Amino acid sequence: MKTAIRKLISPMEKYLFAELIWMGFKYTKKRRENPLLKPLSWMIRKNVEILINRMKIVRKDNSFANEAGTLEEILKKLDLQSQYLVDIGAADGIRQSSTAHFLNNRGWIGALFEYDPDSFSRLAYLYNDRQDITLCKSKVTPLNTPKLLEALNVPQDFGYLNIDIDSYDLAVLRAMLDAGFKPSIISMEINENFGPEFYFEVTWNENHSWNGDHFFGCSLAAAMSTLSGYGYVLVKMEYNNAIFVGLKDSSRFELPSDLKQAYLEGYLNKKNRLDLFPWNHLLEFMHSNLPSQEKIKKIEHVKSCEVEITFDPPWSKDLMSEEAKLELGML
């Protein structure tokens, strides 16, 4: 009888304790910008993260802004042949992870990459009893990515890729796709401060590392421009994550009409975006009606700016509609 009661209580206690921990985590996260509470908030947050890792508490959605929930909805519309995933920039495997749910609750397998020693040690502890999950502590670059994937026996065609290394993400992604790897779903962090009118990308530099500032990743336009060339379409932008699927699966989804719609619905018009991204308060001018050149000049450390307007593909009169040609007397 005691054993039966213990079996009933134990999961409930663990669930309630997990909820309590996550409430504390969210509380400290929202207040870490307060200069008076920041040191205490940081200390509490770090200890909460360690405790969550030690207890191996994996909720249905550990991701930062419901990416895992969004991915679940996308998966319902796809007929995936592979439940293998690759996570480049996996951190500790729990905090803000969009892959934790699939690895722990859905039975997926895969390869996880993390370079930070502290995060990797927690990642290794989390999956120390999973022989079907491969971990790699290596700094991923465009030069070594294909060889690393091949060394870990990552299949060329697999289910899901998540990439979030806060730097030259797009260059790493290009290297993967050029090497023939073809994930069915790609989710990548987007630099949400750059609206759809900006093509922004941190280019590959072996000495580059993220300093915790706003210079990281790429804009939505840069991601879309790159991935469309490899046969992918944008399904949705969810806060600072863009999710793509292959062109052959695009008919299963109601796609955004253009980048502006995706950006407005996915980030800019979200009522709670400044609660989730309090560090973006100082960059609100990026969403004003100022000319693009003036917006860039206002960014910290930028001394000058030149704007060059290009057409891709190059513009010609053949791109004009029949109505435009008629209006200009060209017909």
Q: Give me 96's structure tokens.
A: 């803000």
Considering only the top CATH level, what class is 67-269?
alpha beta
Please determine, for residue 33, whether its predicted confidence score (pLDDT) is greater than 80.
no
Q: Which residues are within 8 A (CB) of 13 and not within 5 positions of it... i.e. 6 or more apart?
A: none
| Residues 6+ positions from 233 with CB-CB distance below 8 Å | 244, 245, 246, 247, 250, 255
| pTM of this structure | 0.76
The predicted pLDDT at position 59 comes to 52
Q: Within 13 Å of residue 162, how many CA atoms lie on the same side as its CB?
A: 26
φ/ψ of residue 189, rounded to 5: -70, 140
pLDDT tens, residue by residue, 97-131: 888 888 988 899 999 999 999 889 888 888 888 99
Given a cut of 50, is residue 175 above it in pLDDT? yes
Average pLDDT over residues 174-202: 94
For 1, 85, 127, 262, the CA distances from 122, given in Å and listed in that order, are 37, 19, 9, 35
Q: How many CB atoms lie within 10 A of CB 295?
A: 23
Q: What's the CA gap between 147 and 317, in Å, rounded?
A: 45
Instruction: Give tens-digit pLDDT for 210-222.
Output: 888 888 999 999 9
pLDDT at 142: 95
Is residue 206 over pLDDT 70?
Answer: yes
Mean pLDDT across the stretch 130-148? 94
In the predicted structure, residue 18 carries a pLDDT above the cut 70: no
Q: What is the pLDDT of residue 278?
A: 83
Tell me, what's the pLDDT at 44? 57
Where b means 16+ CB within 10 Å and e means fewer, 237-251 reads bbbbbbbbbbeebee
At residue 8 the predicted structure's pLDDT band, cuts being 50, 70 and 90, is very low
Helix/strand/coil for 174: helix
Query: How large is the angle between the packed helices 38-55 and 117-126, nearest 10 degrees?
Result: 30
> Can you tell me the distance from the alpha carbon of 146 to that of 164, in angstroms, rounded to the nearest whole number?
17
C-alpha distances (whole Å) from 74 to each of 66, 79, 175, 240, 257 are 13, 10, 25, 17, 18
324 phi-psi bin (left φ>0, alpha ψ -120 to 50, beta other): alpha
Average pLDDT over residues 190-197: 91
